[in-house]
Chain A
């Protein structure tokens, strides 16, 4: 080996070596090491399935939030048409929060998708290497003395082991990420459970004041103001938004 690597590669190499040490037992027969390779391939498949499950969960949540955004937007329009600007503002604040969460969820789904893709590619590589190992093992057993074959097959096993360790690290990283995402998704679920994105006709019930206070802190007030102004303009005069001129009756829906 031509010297050691730089600082990053030294750390990564050490990590891979640690995983390899854990996986390798010199007392094992080489046939047994092939069996273990196949087992770890199963683990990789399971790891990929976990990523897919996490992704599906986020996608479901994202769909729900999309519905909420549409619903709250409609409610804001209805409230404004009916001349209730306060209620429209509350609806827009909630829509604002839902939209922010939605963006973050969608970004996470994209990240998970990329990870899933890479893990699948790595799994394919590992599968190919294991198959190659199986073939080489048989050839070497036939061609070389037992001792010589043992040495050569061990080297080949190290190559497979490195790929396994690499996939192992990638799975660990994916697991850490999905764990972080789960925490975030749980926070959104809590908002939902608190009725944050519910029908606004329930507004005024017990505990709602507190939710609204928190919401107005969470959502960007300038964005809400802008959206409210835009909505007023769209609805046109007669939208009942308080002091606006009462001409051209019947413009609002």
Chain B
């Protein structure tokens, strides 16, 4: 699968990592909902770190679309709250 870190680049990752990435993604949002800033940063950082270290960065010439798109790495806790909770959150498809 191809994962994009917004405002950074695209990485090709083993499909097997998909579940782990989803868990961390959801953990980050749960942390935002419970107001736990440290937990948010921990989950989000680990998520980005897995993509960067396990993935192989795509060449700039590559024109493949991404399967997963993550927020920019400098996303703040406040921004995450605005984007991913309350009305801003699109329900997860069944």
| Residues of chain A having any CB pair with chain B under 8 Å | 1-14, 16, 114, 118, 122, 124-125, 128-129, 131-133, 136, 155-156, 158-160, 162, 166-167, 169-170, 173
Contact = CB atoms under 8 A, between A and B. Distances in A.
B69 A159 contact: no
Contacts, number: 107
Contacts of B83: 8, 11
Interface residues of B, number: 38
Given A10-B90, A114-B74, A170-B72, A160 B67 contact: no
A58 to B, nearest CB: 18
Contact of A1 (B1, B7, B21): B1
Contact of B62 (A5, A10, A159, A169): A159
B15 A2 contact: yes
A124 B9 CA distance: 12
Contacts of B65: 155, 158-159, 162
A108 B63 CA distance: 35
A118 B7 contact: yes
A158 B62 CA distance: 11
B72 A6 contact: no
Contact of A125 (B9, B23, B26, B74): B9
13 contacts: A1-B67, A2-B67, A8-B80, A9-B21, A9-B69, A11-B83, A12-B71, A118-B8, A128-B61, A129-B60, A132-B60, A155-B63, A159-B65
Given A10-B92, A166-B7, A169-B6, A5 B69 contact: yes
A124 B6 CA distance: 15
Given A7-B92, A8-B84, A13 B68 contact: yes
Given A7-B26, A12-B69, A159-B62, 14 more contacts: A9-B25, A9-B68, A9-B69, A10-B90, A11-B83, A11-B84, A12-B70, A13-B66, A125-B60, A159-B65, A162-B65, A162-B66, A170-B7, A173-B72
Contacts of A156: 63
B7 A3 contact: no
A6 B64 contact: no
B6 A166 contact: yes
